[in-house]
Amino acid sequence: MKKILMGLLAVTLSVTAMAENKVGIGAGVGVSDSIYKGADDKAYPMPLLDINYGDFYVKGITVGYQFYKDDAFAASLFVDPLAGFAVDGADLAKGYDNIDDRKFQAMFGIRLDADTGFYGVRTGLTAQVGEHGGEGKISAFKAYKVDERLTIVPSIHVKGYSGDYTDYYFGVSSEEARKNSKIDNSYKADAAYSFGANLTADYKLTDNVALMAFLGVERFSSEVSDSPIVEDGVLYLVGVGAKYYF
């Protein structure tokens, strides 16, 4: 869930940086329910970083290198150090809590961003891979400048997950099924997808200080929601933060 919060926040970070051409440093907190059965909602501290140094950049916790850019298109390579849906088995409800821990993974990928030329809508396409499989994402968003202080950014996206990726985080082995009283059978999760909608807001208190808020929802396909360790395949997210611009 932390990875979705960071991805949602990155929309605001990128739009603000494009509009203001500034470096931003700050902190925030995001809250998400859990996709896993019985696991509690969690609050995650989040660095709000939007830093560029030549062709290198840091957005949130993602580090990247932009190897091409013109007025309408940009391409970059990046590393996401905390990808995936990590959970400690002991955090699940009784009868499910003897599963193995699922860990975050570092993923390496490529990102393409483009201005569609259609009423200010921008699109993004990412593909990344790690030790436990790969995922891809296509997104579209638009920044609405309500007034001199407030910017609202609605966005939508679709993600795809490889079978290895989905099975690592949501599959259940025969051994795990034997050790958990509420899991009847093993479960092999195939390639899956999710889609989501987000809304972020940036409010400038001064030329150098801004407040941020964001919320979102993510729905996963049946390959994830049918897993015996998954609650219902829907995630809700909300968060706030503050940033100082240089």
Amino acid at 233: G
The pLDDT assigned to 19 comes to 44
Q: Which of 177, 245, 179 is nearest to 211 (CA)?
A: 245
* Phi, psi of 224, deg, nearest 5: -90, -50
Please give the structure tokens belonging to residue 159.
Answer: 């993600």
What's the Cα-to-Cα distance from 121 to each of 4, 11, 27, 133, 209, rounded to whole Å?
Answer: 21, 13, 27, 31, 26
Q: Are strands 56-59 and 24-32 parallel, antiparallel or unpaired?
A: unpaired
The pLDDT assigned to 87 comes to 92
Please give the structure tokens belonging to residue 214.
Answer: 């964001």
Residue 195 contacts residue 219 (beta carbons within 8 Å): yes
Q: Which domains does the chain have, with CATH numbers?
A: 2-245 (2.40.160.40)
pLDDT in tens, 96-130: 999 999 999 999 999 999 999 898 899 999 999 99
Q: Degrees (nearest 5) of the Cα angle 151, 80, 227?
A: 95
Q: Tokens 């030549």 appear where?
A: 54
Residue 142, Cα to own-chain centre: how many angstroms?
Answer: 18
Could you give the CA distance from residue 173 to residue 181 in angstroms, rounded to a whole number?
14
The more confidently predicted of residues 191 and 33 is 191
| DSSP SS3 for 143 | coil
Could you give the CA distance from residue 157 to residue 177 in angstroms, rounded to a whole number?
34
Beta bridge mates, 155: 141, 198
Amino acid at 163: G
Q: Please state whether 152 falls in left (phi above 0), alpha (psi between -120 and 50) or beta.
A: beta
| DSSP SS3 for 112 | strand
Please give the structure tokens belonging to residue 42.
Answer: 């969690």
**Average pLDDT over every residue of 42-60:** 84
The pLDDT assigned to 1 comes to 53
The pLDDT assigned to 111 comes to 95
Which residues, 6 or more positions from 201, have their beta carbon under 8 angstroms from its beta carbon? 12, 150, 151, 152, 153, 212, 213, 214
Could you give the CA distance from residue 177 to residue 167 in angstroms, rounded to a whole number?
14
* Phi, psi of 179, deg, nearest 5: -85, -5
Q: Tokens 């931003």 appear where?
A: 24
The pLDDT assigned to 103 comes to 94
Of 57-61, 68-72, 91-95, give the range with the top mean pLDDT: 91-95
